Structure 1
C-alpha cells in the first residue's frame, strides 16, 4: 500500500471476528445489531425499520472515518488503513444510550434506556389523527396536566420529582395516550405551542413534500436530468458559509465519465476507440 494512501474498507463484519465472512445486507445488520428487536411490535415480534438505516449509518460512519484519516495525512503526510464494518458500527450507534446497567463492571442491571423502550412512548391518537407530545421538564409536565384539568396528576410525586418521573415514565406516557383523543391535532398544536411544550403533528411521507418549512428552505428541488428530463430530488440538507459550494449533480449514466478518465490516464483518442470497439469499456453519449 502506498504510504500516503488513506484506504478504507466497509465490510459487513470486522475482519478479526468469527463472522467476518458472513454476507451482510441492511436487513441482516438490523437483525444482528438488535435494532429489529428494539422495534418489536406490540406482540413482541421483531420488525425491520422501513428504511435502509444500517446502510446509511455505515455510509456516514465511513465518511467520518475517512475525514479523520485525511486530516491525519495533512498533519503527518502518512496514510492509513481504516476498517469500518456495518455490524460493529450499528451496534455502537444503538448501544451508546442503551448500555444502562452494563456500563458498570460488574454490571448493576440490564441493558435498555427505560424512557426510550417504554411501551407507551409513541405518537398518540387525537380526535382526527396523531401527534407527538413530549413534556420533558417538570414544568412541562405540571403545565400539561394543569391545562388538561387534571390537578390531581399535576401534584403527583412521579410528576414533580425527576427521579421518580424517570422510574415511572411509562405510566405518565400512558396518561398522555388516554388524554390525547380529547382534542383534534390542530387544537393540540395550538395549546401546546402556547404552553411551550415540545410537540409536532405526525406527518405522512407525502405530507413532507408540502411541508411549509421544507418548502421554505428548499429541501426538495427540481432539476433537469440528462436522459430522464425534469425530476425532483432531496438536496444536501446542510449549507456551508465561507466556501464555494458545488451543485449536486444527477447520478451519472453508465460510461459517462469513461472518456474523461481514460484521457486523464494518458490514453489517446485512437486507443479509447479501440477499447470501445472491443467492448472493454462503455462510453455514454453524454460525457461527464
Structure 2
C-alpha cells in the first residue's frame, strides 16, 4: 500500500528537495530547500547542504562562524507563513478552525473559492487525502500560479486530489454532490446560488470574511436564500506565553483579529428553514443597517 501524497517527505533522514527550517540561538527561523553541492549562507557564516543530506531531523549544524543552527522540517504552519505570497495567507489558527469546525474529513469532496497563495489549499488537501477531492477556483491567474507552486513544493509534486481553475466560482463551477464549500472572497453572497446547487443535503458552506459588514451581508443573504440553516459566526485569537523560569506570563504581542468564520448547512430540497425564535434587538434592521446592506462590500 502506497503512502499518502507527501507523507514520505515528513519523516526519515533529510533528502534532496526537502524543506529545512533552521533555528538560530535567538529563535529566528530560516527555511530553504536542500540541494546537493549548495551552501547555506548567513551573516554568521555558511555550511554545505551536503552536511544535512542523509542526517536525521533534529541535527545541529555549525556555520564557518561557529554559530549553531537546529535543523528540522518545517511544520505546515511554519511553511505557510514563510512561503512566497501573492495574496495574504489564511493564518494557521483560522485554517485549523476551518478544518475542524467545517468538518473536513478524509475522502471529502470540497470546493474552494479564493485560493490566494495556496495556504488553505494545502491544509485542505492534507485533510481530504488522496481519496478525496479539492476543486479550487481563483479569479487571478498570477495568484493561481503562485498557489500551484507553493502546494507542489510542499507535497513534492502535483497532488492527485487537486484541480485548480482560473475564473470566478459562480461562472465556472461544474462540481455537484459536494460535501463542503469554502469561500475566501470579498463577496461570498454572490456565489450562494451556485453553492446551494452544488452542495449535498447536510453539506456545509464556510465563509472567511474580514469585516463585520461582509459578515452581516453574508448572514442575511444565507437567511434570504432559504436553503441553508441558521448561520453561525465566530473569530479566534491566539496568545502565546513567555516561559523563563518563574517568569511565566502572556507575551506582549498576540495574533488577534484576522477574519471572521461563518458556517451554515444545506437543507434538503423543498424544506423550509425553521422560524427563528430569537427577537432582533431594537434598531438591528433600522436605517443604518439598510444603508450598510445596500452599499455592502465589494
TM-score range, shorter chain: under 0.3
Q: Please tell me whether Structure 1 or Structure 2 has the larger radius of gyration of its CA atoms.
A: 1
By percentage of residues, which structure has more helix?
A: 1
TM (norm. structure 2) is: 0.21
